[in-house]
Amino acid sequence: MKLHTKEITIQTKNKFQIIDITAQIQSFISKNKIQKGIATIFTNHTTSAIIINENEPRLLQDIENNLEEIFPENKKYLHNIHDNNASSHLKSILMSPSQTIPIINNELNLGTWQRVMFVELDGPRQRAVNLSLIGE
Ligand code: ZN
């Protein structure tokens, strides 16, 4: 089986931002004509995450609000002596830097409401997301 890899660059605009990257992943699968296999999506950063969830604006606001409630930015953290972003690191540990999704019939095998989304927790920044496809 072949391995196909690609790096997606994402320029975020806000401190907190959720960006739907499902279409970019799907187009890479289509381009490589993979009928069945596995896609992994990995972010190379310690203040970001990859989630699979519903892309509904009020839900995305709920995610932001609740992460902020758990790890408020204005709290005292030891790490803030370095670069003042401890709250962003801590929020990221509640999620994951990667997701694995089956590919069936040349498509990501997502549920009706599932989308793959990049979560920016310390923007604005330029971010890299690695796609790896294994399959045929
Ligand atoms: Zn830091």
Tokens matching residue 116? 């793959």
Distance of CA 52 from the midpoint of ligand 1 (Å): 25
Distance of CA 6 from the midpoint of ligand 1 (Å): 26
Distance of CA 31 from the midpoint of ligand 1 (Å): 37
For the chain, what percent of residues have pLDDT higher than 70? 100
Distance of CA 59 from the midpoint of ligand 1 (Å): 27
Q: Report the distance separating Cα 119 and Cα 92, nearest Å.
A: 9
Q: What tens digit of pLDDT does each residue of 53-103 get?
A: 999 999 999 999 999 999 999 999 999 999 999 999 999 999 999 999 999
Residue owning tokens 């999506």: 41
pTM of the model: 0.97
